[in-house]
Amino acid sequence: MNVIVRKSSLSGHITVPGSKSHTIRALLLAMLADGESHIANPLPSADCISTAHALPLIGAQVDMNLSASGQQGNAWTVTGAGKHIHLPTDVVNVGDSGSLLYFLSPVAATFDGWSIFTGDASIRKRPVHHVVDALQQLGAQAYVSQPGSSSCPLIIKGPVKKPGKVVTGGTVSSQYISGLMMAALRLSEPVEIELTDPKETPYLTMTKKWLEQVGARVSISDDFKHITVSKPERLSAFDVTIPSDWEAVAFPLIAALLTDSEIVIDNVDGSGTQGDDAIVAVLQSIGADIVWDKTQNVLIVRGGKKATDGVGRLSTDRLSNKELHVNLSGFPDAVCAVAVAACFTEGTTYIEDIGVCRRKETDRIVVLRKELTKLGAEVEEGDDYMVIHGHSPVRADGSANPAFCLHGAEVESYDDHRVAMSLSCFGLGLRDGSAVVVKNAECCSVSFPHFYETMNAIGSGFETK
């Protein structure tokens, strides 16, 4: 499916789906628990459905409350495997879900026997050498099946024989660290994890809070370099409501700021468990008109002529050296949204500490440079950073900015959901007469099912063909 995007303005209320990160953690912990857990507002995305389909292989049952047409309901029930949990009965195909791969493979290492993990073409390019090394340190056997490869298929033979300390980098991903923390729930002795260079640390805090919710004892040092997890006496079932996904909030947020729009994003998570909420402060620092009402759990976003000043110009003018420096080590999934916003911001933006973005669904640093350049943006690429020299469509007085030269083009999504959504939002901010065509845009269902229909309900005018 291709999506055609032209200049538009947005108005009204929008609610984004539940958090993928929270949904997958809830499903896996409910799988480990004794009893029946109830999960309200789960994200029915491809990654979460892959997780739900994996649970029965280990002894749990999932009722997604399907409608007559096969659509997932907004309340799921998991009957946990508990003390009857067992080795996966088949190969675990994680689809396109790196979260599921990195979370569940350490848990599988606690079973006596062989487990095999694989996935789609994207997963079979993602590194797993860090998982292999960590599991081997715990006494399990772990291998990749292809000689000379560092990717899936991943083969594991448990059980873990010497629970104790794991020393690992933490730079490739935080997800396998969360997986090790979950695996500790099945081990008799505490697991200590020493990280030499921790990244994506808000997600480790999220995992800590989830484990504590089910009774585990978890300690994380202030610098995130030392983590200890001890199992609870009994891991009981739970009822939970999944908060909205900040990674999804980013897209209607930037779309409104790039256009003459006023929208309200409802049911915004103010718990602080999702590091991606830092995008609000980043955008406010360049003049974005965003009001976060934490009493009502809403974001009020005004862009362009609908902004309070009637201009809505994004600029680095008020920042030191007139440059925006954004360190995304804590919330790297925001790189696509931040990069697009930077293209429409007068001044230079440095997006830093994003080496992990090379190991997502795509190498997002390369992909963003290529596709944004097609659209007229000036983008520089480094090993773990990007530099974007942007221009606002308007001057400070609201008149047209002759330096603004972004334009339409046909661009590739590379089957990366965040790339597809960010490039679609880019097209909304162009001048009349320009259009962006995003190829293979249906991949957004991985994290935001019905993204285009939801955005069209507030006026985006996305055309699909």
Q: Which residues participate in catalysis according to the annotation?
A: 333
C-alpha–C-alpha distance, residues 150 and 158, integer Å: 20
The residues, any chain, with a CB within 8 Å of residue 320's CB and separated by 6 or more, are none
Query: Quick one: 74 exposed, middle or buried, by C-beta within 10 A (0-12, 13-18, 19+)?
Result: middle
Whether 28 and 76 have beta carbons less than 8 Å apart is answered as no
Whether 162 and 138 have beta carbons less than 8 Å apart is answered as yes
Whether 357 and 365 have beta carbons less than 8 Å apart is answered as yes
Helix axes of 20-32 and 201-213: crossing angle, nearest 10 degrees:
40
CB atoms inside a 10 Å sphere around CB 327: 15
C-alpha–C-alpha distance, residues 375 and 419, integer Å: 14
* Short-list 104, 224, 98, 205, CA closest to 158: 104
Q: Please state the separation of Cα 386 from the chain's center in Å.
A: 19
C-alpha–C-alpha distance, residues 333 and 387, integer Å: 17
Whether 396 and 346 have beta carbons less than 8 Å apart is answered as no
Write the single-letter amino acid at 46: A
C-alpha–C-alpha distance, residues 107 and 187, integer Å: 10
Whether 246 and 416 have beta carbons less than 8 Å apart is answered as no
β 165-168/191-195 pair status: parallel
Whether 415 and 122 have beta carbons less than 8 Å apart is answered as yes
